[in-house]
Structure 1
Amino acid sequence: MSYSEFETSLQNGQPIRLYQFQRGPMKWGYTSANQNITHQSIVFRSIEGGIKDDGIRQTENTASDMLTLTVPQSLDVAQMYRVVAPGQTVHVTVFDLHYGDTGFLVSWMGFIVGVSFKDQISASIQCKNLSASLERTGLRKAWGRLCQHQLYSDACLVQRNSFKAVGSVDRLDGVSVGFAPASAKENGYYTGGYIEWTSLYGLEQRGIEAHSGDLLNIYGGTSGLSIGQEITIYAGCDRLFTTCKSKFNNTINYGGSPHMPGKSPFDGTPVF
Structure 2
Amino acid sequence: MSAWPETLAAHAGRTVTTVCHCWRLTRKDGHVAGYTDHDRRLTVDATVFAPQTGLAASEARDTLGLAVDTVDVEGALSSDDISDEDIAAGLYDGAAVETLLVNWRQPDDFVLLRKATVGRITRADGRFAAELESLAHSLDRPSGRFVSRACDAELGDARCGFRLDDPAFTGTGAVEVVEMASTLLVSGLDAFVAGWFALGVLTWTSGVREGRRERVEMHRRDATGTTLVLQPGGSGTVDEGDTFTIVAGCDKKFATCKAKFANTLNFRGFPHLPGNDAAYGYVVDGGRFDGEPLVP
Q: Is the 8 A contact 1:80 1:201 kept in 2?
A: no
- 2:252 aligned counterpart, secondary structure: coil
Aligned structure 1 segments of 4 or more residues deviating by more than 6 angstroms: 198-202
Q: 1:178 aligns with which of 161, 185, 189?
A: 185
Matched, 1:156 2:168: no
Q: What is the aligned-residue identity percentage?
A: 23
* Closer/same/farther in 2, CA of residues 61 and 174 from structure 1, 3 Å limit: same
Tell me the residue number matched to 2:278: 264
Tell me the residue number matched to 1:3: 8
Report the AA paired with residue 252 of structure 1: L
State the 1:73 CA deviation: 1.7
Q: Is the 8 A contact 1:87 1:204 kept in 2?
A: no
Q: Take 2:96 and 2:249, find their aligned partners in 1: how far apart are those partners?
A: 28
Encode CA deviations 1:127-182: one digit per residue, 9 max, x unaligned: 333332343111334153x4333322321112334332223222222231222233
Structure 1: runs of 5+ lacking an equivalent: none
State the 1:87 CA deviation: 8.2
Encode CA deviations 1:28-61: one digit per residue, 9 max, x unaligned: 111111211111222111216x321112222443
- 2:249 aligned counterpart, secondary structure: coil
State the 1:189 CA deviation: 0.8
State the 1:83 CA deviation: 4.2
Encode CA deviations 1:159-217: one digit per residue, 9 max, x unaligned: 33433222322222223122223332111111111222367688422221111122111
- 1:108 aligned counterpart, secondary structure: strand
Q: Take 2:87 and 2:268, find their aligned partners in 1: how far apart are those partners?
A: 37
Q: Is the 8 A contact 1:109 1:130 kept in 2?
A: yes
Tell me the residue number matched to 2:293: none
Number of residue pairs matched by the alignment: 266
| RMSD, aligned α-carbons | 2.9
TM-score (norm 1): 0.83
* Closer/same/farther in 2, CA of residues 114 and 258 from structure 1, 3 Å limit: closer
- 1:133 aligned counterpart, secondary structure: helix
Tell me the residue number matched to 1:253: 266
Report the AA paired with residue 268 of structure 1: Y
Report the AA paired with residue 177 of structure 1: L
Rg larger in structure: 2
State the 1:220 CA deviation: 0.9
- 1:34 aligned counterpart, secondary structure: coil
Matched, 1:233 2:246: yes
Report the AA paired with residue 183 of structure 1: D
Q: Take 2:174 and 2:82, find their aligned partners in 1: how far apart are those partners?
A: 27
Q: Is the 8 A contact 2:89 2:234 kept in 1?
A: no
Greater Cα offset, 78-87 or 211-220: 78-87
Matched, 1:112 2:124: no
* Closer/same/farther in 2, CA of residues 16 and 257 from structure 1, 3 Å limit: closer
Q: Is the 8 A contact 1:208 1:218 kept in 2?
A: yes
* Closer/same/farther in 2, CA of residues 119 and 138 from structure 1, 3 Å limit: same
